[in-house]
Structures are given as structure tokens and as C-alpha cells.
Amino acid sequence: MLDRDCRDRVVKDLREAPQQVHAGLTVIRDVVLEYAAACLQAGASGVFLASQMANYDALTREEYQEFGVAYDLPILESLQGKSRLTMLHACRQNVMFELVAGYPVDVINWADRAVTGPTLAQARQMSGKALAGGLAVETLFNGTADDVRREVRDAVVQTGGRGFMLTPGCTINARSPAANLHAARQALAEGLS
């Protein structure tokens, strides 16, 4: 995961030395292509690809099309017909959902609870793909079990419980209370019954 200083350096370099960044991204793309193929060959059922930069806080739309989409798509296209489940995670807030909604993936995950959106309901209108989300990482870590249940119920309402995977918008803090994780599971089971 890119830390803040590294992300800032990447953005500076792609603006000041784009050819060198393209050369580096080409190597990374080729390695990921080989790695994904090897994982599938070894028996993996699917692939999870995370994008750290598909958000307006990091890049402009044009920059991401040049330095993100151009490298993401060959990887994702290579998985078609080979990966049984391909999931994309657009990291951070203020995601470029309108760009990633067109990616050849089965499931899209992002911080749908972020004020910058889109919500699950909005994303459903933008993409016919399965959606993964519904829980704020902060709610799982700092909220009450009732807070978690509210988010789960709302997510089920927004999606109708179809084409939907209940997940947080990013990684779960390992110290999240077990009671909150149990509340999420219970609320989902109740919401789908």
C-alpha cells in the first residue's frame, strides 16, 4: 500500500517525468499480468485488484486515464474467461467511479459510506456489476453494534440484497470489536430473510 509520501512522489513524477513513469508502469503491468496468470494456473479462482490512485484526491481524470486505466485494462482484460471472480477495489475517498464502473470486473468495492460517494444505490445506476460495500471501516472499529446494524440494513435496502456483497470500504482494523462483526453478520442474515 502506498503511503502518503510515496503517493505524493508518484504524482510529482508522473507530472514532471511522465515517460519514466510510463516505463515503470509498463514493468509493473507486465509483472502483474504474469503473476495473475500464474495464480490462476496454480488454482486460484479469482483475482482482486486494488487501485490506490483512482480517486480525484490523487489525480485528475485525464491523469488516471493515462497512468491508471491504460495499465489496469490490459490486466483485467487478460483475466476474462479465466478468472471466475474478478474484484476491483478503488481505494480511498472521492473515487472515479464513473471510470472504474466500465472496467471488465465482476465486483466493485469502494468506500461507499464516504461523503464523496457514490452510494450503493447511485453505483447500481452507474454499473450493472455486483457491488461490495455497505460498511464504513470507522463504524466497524469505533461504532456500536447498533450503528453497524443500521449500516447493514441500509445497504440491503439500497441494493435490494441482490448483486451485493457486504464488506467494508477498505481493510478491517484487526482490533475491530468482535461484537460489531457478529452484528454485521446477524443484520445481513435478518435483512436477506
pLDDT in tens, 96-126: 999 999 999 999 999 999 988 899 999 999 9
pLDDT in tens, 177-190: 999 999 999 999 99
Amino acid 4: pLDDT: 61
- pLDDT tens digits, one per residue of 13-62: 999 999 999 999 999 999 999 999 999 999 999 999 999 899 999 999 99
Are the C-beta atoms of residues 75 and 29 closer than 8 Å to each other? yes
Within 8 A by CB and 6+ apart from 63, the residues are 14, 15
| pLDDT range class, residue 88, cuts 50, 70, 90 | very high
Q: What is the amino acid identity at position 164?
A: F
Alpha carbon distance 182, 146 (integer Å): 11
Question: Which whole number is the average pLDDT over 55-80?
Answer: 96
**73, 108, 132, 141 from 8: Cα distances, Å:** 24, 25, 28, 28
Residue 1, pLDDT score: 41
Output the pTM of the full model: 0.92
Note whether 165 and 108 are within 8 A (CB).
no
pLDDT at 8: 85
**Three-class SS string for 23-91?**
HHHHHHHHHHHHHHHHHHHCCCCEEEEEECCCECCCCCHHHHHHHHHHHHHHHHHHHCCCCCEEEEEEC
Q: Distance between CA 49 and CA 105 in Å, rounded? A: 10
